[in-house]
Amino acid sequence: MALSGNKSVDSTAGVVSPLLSKVTAVKRINSKELLSEQGRLEIEHDTEIYRLTRTKNGKLILTK
């Protein structure tokens, strides 16, 4: 099956059909805004707490 614009083309049958899944925009947040001056953030997911930390080298670490 080949892609043609926004539709998929079944070359064996010559039938054009809509794509099965739509592309959706993913929300993007700047890490400086998210982590603030502290460089740390706690994320609550279900019953767990995760910590997102910016290192001295500017890398991000997510720990449980």
Q: What is the pLDDT of residues 38-56, one digit of tens each?
A: 999 999 999 999 999 999 9
Residue 15: predicted pLDDT:
61
Q: Determine, yes or no, domain membership for 61.
A: yes
Cα 2 to the center of its chain, rounded Å: 25
Tens digits of per-residue pLDDT, 9-30?
555 566 655 665 667 888 999 9
| Stretch among 4-8, 29-33, 54-58 having the lowest mean pLDDT | 4-8
Q: Which domain holds residue 46?
A: 31-64
The confidence score (pLDDT) of residue 4 equals 52
Does 26 reside within a domain? no
For the chain, what is the domain count? Answer: 1
The enclosing domain of 64 has a CATH number of: 2.10.70.10
Beta-sheet pairing, 48-54 with 60-63: antiparallel
pLDDT at 24: 81
